[in-house]
Structure 1
Amino acid sequence: MTLREEMLQLAGQARDASRTLAQLSTTVKNDLLRRMAEALERETPALIEANAKDLANGREKGLSTAMLDRLRLDADRIRAMADGLREVAELPDPVGEITGMWRRPSGIQVGRMRIPLGVIGIIFESRPNVTADAAGLCLKSGNAVVLRGGSEAIHSNVAIGAILKGQLTAMGLPDGALQVVTTTDRAAVTELLQLEEYIDLIIPRGGEGLIRFVSENSRIPVIKHYKGVCHTFVDADADLDMAEKICINAKVQRPGVCNAMETLLVHRAAAATFVPRIAATLAALGVELRGCPTTRQHAPNIKAAVEEDWGAEFLDLILAVKVVDGLDEAIAHIQRYGSLHTEVIVTRDYANSQRFLREINSSVVMVNASSRFSDGNQFGLGAEIGISTTKLHSFGPMGLEDLTTRKFIVFGDGQVRA
């Protein structure tokens, strides 16, 4: 069987299974997710063993510490995957929801009903927990899913997929509803992107190169989960204790994730006090700072920033720092260099906070909170499929409702059009 034939078969099985999934009751779907959660926890030793192979290969290939952290599975992370499935099981089922009914002069009643998209293809890198998170959300929303993870996580992804598929089989459901591409041949991605008759939506999650490749080569609609160039702006009258706490969390807690802060903007009026303070604190935590000339006047020991730093997603303990004249310059900087992911203002000025909320058009805009909260789970969506930086048809963290569409439904009692 050629690679194209293999991908056609896989996608065809997913399409066939999607018809069954669309008709499943909420009770059956919830039972499936709970069984999957129990199975993941039960198979924790096997998952850690499979993940160890990926970690060993990653070290041989010289993956960064941050990338290895994204790749790592341990008992806590496996439990978190299981808990994510249970949380999705507890969420309201969007399928079949009727969103509004209205009567027309003809007497007919018109409404809209939520339905699954069909088959969703997800192409992702590094983080094996995406396999469980994406499966849970897609299955709960009545969609079949085709998962193609990166070669660096192949053993982990295949192991997770096998455990989850086993529960589909155990319940007499078509296991084609959950497909994990087992080949590491990159040509498999190209083949999948041509199957518009079988796959309804492609969601790429990963680095800039992956996103661009998928967007340029897909014949299927794409929702981009582009890089996270997240900014924090410390305003003139910010509570500096709060600002420091937020900046530390946003940069240091998990620097290798897309909602970590990559650029810190500081109002000129606060710079003399805050820049030396935050520079010393972050340096002590192992962060490499790269600053504009004004920043370096207040913290002479940090590196000089170059133009490429302002649009960089470092995914590491590196932070670009710029002193700006005020809110106008902060907004202009974010509009020029941001990636429509998550932006934060730390301020006690209500008018400035409201203007920041209105004028920044990223998918998530925050006041006085860490960008690390930009996450579907933290927003109450359960496990997320990712954070969309595409304004159509979903923007920001994508939960169950974002994996459905709406069809029109009409009720009449014999009306005909004149």
Structure 2
Amino acid sequence: MATGPRSAEGQMLVGVPTETDPGERRVALVPSVATELIERGHEVVVQSGAGERVDHSDDAYEAVGCEMVPDRETVFARADIITQVNGLAASDEPDPTAYREGQTVVGLLGPYEIEEASLSTLADRNVSAFSLELMPRISRAQSMDALSSMASLGGYKACLMAAEQLPKMFPMEMTAAGTIQPAEVFVIGAGVAGLKAIATAERLGASVRAYDIRLEVKREVESLGADFVELDLETEESGDDEGYAREMDEEFYRAQREAMREVVPDSDVLITTAAIPGAPAPELVTAEMVADMDAGSVVVDMSADSGGNCEPTRAGETIEHEGVTVFGPTDLPSRVAHTASEQYANNIANFLDAILDDDELHFDFEDEIVDSTLLTHDGTIRNPHRDDETEPDTDEEGSNPDPDEESDSTATDGGATDGQ
């Protein structure tokens, strides 16, 4: 077990810089969570303006005991631990040289995309980099699982986007002017994002169906009031020991697309969530299937950032394909930035609790949380996940019996990578 650096005052100093991605509205720590860290004996230094996009003013941070500094460089120069939403490969302008010797960074670091040169720079600077995307799916880690937190919000927002765009009401209603039929919503992927989308569509009164290659999630889908679509496919060993879906071969995806032809065209709304960390998202829905949907129908492809599940999807764009609106959002959690920041800040605080002991950083490599998430440490690059493509996770991803509550089966969205 190794021990990390301490601030000059004998306490850990946690730094919160602004995010460099111009489209990112979230902040790594909100005042209410910063208060908790300060009460635990830590210090918090925040770059001026870091919380403005989620309506947390500099005064709000100062009121709870944070120190405000005018520039990003000061945060990096002083902090023992840097907390970020997006860092390294996940940042708009990744700069590994910003981290000083012996510093620790915690955030969504893009472990599958980060360049080897960036990892080498971090290792040369003895930076300890924790990537929250690699959080193991164990009960003790649920409160730290940022991808699941963000995926749940993404699924919620995806459903609302579809409901707003669709020229039909979601709920069924009996009116004097006649009966309004419910919108038909089809969700592909019954993981965290998918289950939240299902639950949200059900609450809005839609008629909801869902599909996942793992038949074991059927009960979870049906518990939310949706119908589980079973395709005539061989799905044995489609899930790994942790409940994630595995990447299947092209022959399986071809058969899956053929089976989807019977389901997709009957939907008013299609929400797709299948993603494979470190690899392109599987293409499950062809342009022809989308074209066969009724004019005015809506597709929200939550895997747009990694190529998309739908052939017409364009990352970061909204297009019309044969009368169907196709959304390719890459920033869903950031669109509900206030709540997303609160959730993410709690994930960060819980993670810091796990790695801090008596105001010191402890790198216990027998702890699965530390061992799984630590990319670089003590001059060494230690990221076996980058080369492990035998059992990738997907968001036809892990499952969650109640998307409003964490469970042992909570998983990531690639998007979700989360995070989406």
TM superposition score normalised by structure 2: 0.28
Greater length-normalized contact order (CA 8 Å, ≥ 6 residues apart): 2
Identify, as 1 or 2, the structure richer in helix.
1
